[in-house]
């Protein structure tokens, strides 16, 4: 592991690190931007195994290091406290316990004290599959997050792979939805399909943002899962199922988990041409999967850039569609 790190340092040093330094400086400015009210970011996947939890933890840590005690992450994905491990929080706060521990809090200091602390002062809520029922639905998420989320500048939730009905409510409850997919051609295409459906509201079987009597979204016909394969992208002229629903800002995050992606980010931008979806390519550090606790410099820079972009889109969705990222 040490040898791999030394080789990376040598590559960055002798290969020219001016561009990396500029990227880090720009990201740092974005990470410190003023936030008027709490911003909520959802991270979802079309398929599992996309490196979403690791990427979310890295981006959230980058934010927390610039915004002390002002960033909250939430584990709403099945997976044995994966977010707790990725953020290195000392011990998880079970979901069912969290609702009681956070109810009625009136001060930010009390909210921060009630939650486990991860890297950089990052707060973590949720404990993977240890709670029951699991994974939590959008209503249970709000019951736990609403009392404390208002005390944090940014709340990032790992939702994992979700059904179409859950995604409708998730989209309506967040300022930004980041669709994380492996950067290989097939998963990237499925991620692009999901991103297109989220930004147009062209989901099957539900009205985005409208709750039915059971707390789930109101149905509008036959249901179909968004997480599976799809025949093609949603029509760019598609109207939202519920005319009163405003689509969240949507970011497609392509993680090169296997180092085999090539230029699929360019292919995704072509496929999403005309839609307000930004596409961000993120490298993956295989050393993390082998037990290393520290990501490489290039990966950490990518996480910082992603976090800065997500915050920018959460605060100003249109102006944050930067050249080189907008589809």
Beta-bridge mates of residue 74:
125, 157
Could you read off the pLDDT of 37-74 as tens digits, one per residue? 999 999 999 998 899 999 999 999 999 999 988 999 99
- 246 has pLDDT over 70: no
Q: Provide the pLDDT confidence category of residue 228 given band limits of 50, 70 and 90.
A: very low
Quick one: average pLDDT of 225-232?
34
Distance (Å, rounded) from C-alpha 125 to C-alpha 151?
14
* Least confident stretch, 3-17, 36-50, 117-131, 262-276: 3-17
Residue 314 DSSP SS3: helix
What is the pTM (predicted TM-score) of this model? 0.79
**What does the CA dihedral 173, 177, 182, 185 come to, rounded to 10 degrees?**
120
**List of domains in the chain:** 35-315 (3.40.50.300)
CA diameter of the chain:
62
Over pLDDT 90: what percentage of the chain?
Answer: 41
At 22 the pLDDT is: 67
- Of 87, 55, 110, nearest to 253 by C-alpha is 55
Could you read off the pLDDT of 157-178 as tens digits, one per residue? 999 999 999 999 999 999 999 9
Over pLDDT 70: what percentage of the chain?
Answer: 70
Q: Provide the pLDDT confidence category of residue 25 given band limits of 50, 70 and 90.
A: low
Radius of gyration in angstroms for the set of CA atoms belonging to the chain, rounded to a whole number: 19
Residue 132 DSSP SS3: coil
């Amino acid at each position: 592991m040490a040898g791999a790190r030394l080789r990376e340092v040598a590559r960055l040093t002798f290969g020219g690190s001016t561009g990396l330094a500029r990227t880090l400086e720009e990201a740092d400015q974005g990470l410190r931007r003023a936030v008027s009210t709490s911003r909520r970011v959802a991270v979802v996947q079309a398929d599992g195994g996309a490196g979403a939890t690791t990427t979310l933890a890295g981006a959230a840590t980058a934010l927390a290091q610039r915004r002390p005690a002002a960033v909250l992450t939430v584990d709403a994905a099945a997976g044995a406290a994966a977010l707790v491990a990725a953020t290195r929080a000392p011990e998880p706060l079970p979901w069912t316990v969290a609702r009681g521990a956070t109810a009625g809090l009136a001060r930010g200091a009390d909210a921060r004290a009630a939650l486990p602390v991860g890297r950089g002062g990052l707060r973590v809520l949720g404990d993977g599959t240890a709670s029951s029922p699991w994974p939590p639905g959008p209503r249970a998420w709000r019951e736990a997050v609403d009392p404390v989320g208002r005390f944090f500048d940014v709340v990032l939730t790992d939702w994992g792979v979700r059904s179409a009905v859950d995604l409708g409510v998730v989209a309506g409850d967040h300022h930004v939805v980041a669709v994380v997919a492996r950067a290989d051609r097939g998963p990237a295409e499925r991620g692009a399909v999901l991103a297109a459906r989220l930004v147009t509201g062209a989901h099957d079987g539900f009205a985005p943002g409208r709750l039915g009597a059971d707390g789930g979204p109101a149905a509008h016909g036959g249901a179909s899962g968004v997480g599976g394969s799809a025949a093609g992208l949603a029509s760019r002229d598609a109207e939202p199922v519920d005319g009163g629903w405003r689509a969240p800002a949507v970011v497609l995050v392509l993680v090169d988990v296997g180092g085999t992606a090539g230029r699929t980010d360019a292919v995704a931008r072509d496929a999403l041409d005309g839609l307000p979806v930004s596409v961000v390519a993120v490298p993956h550090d295989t050393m993390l999967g082998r037990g290393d606790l520290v990501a490489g410099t290039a990966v950490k820079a990518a996480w910082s850039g992603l976090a800065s972009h997500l915050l920018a889109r959460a605060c100003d969705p249109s102006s944050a569609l930067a050249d080189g990222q907008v589809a």
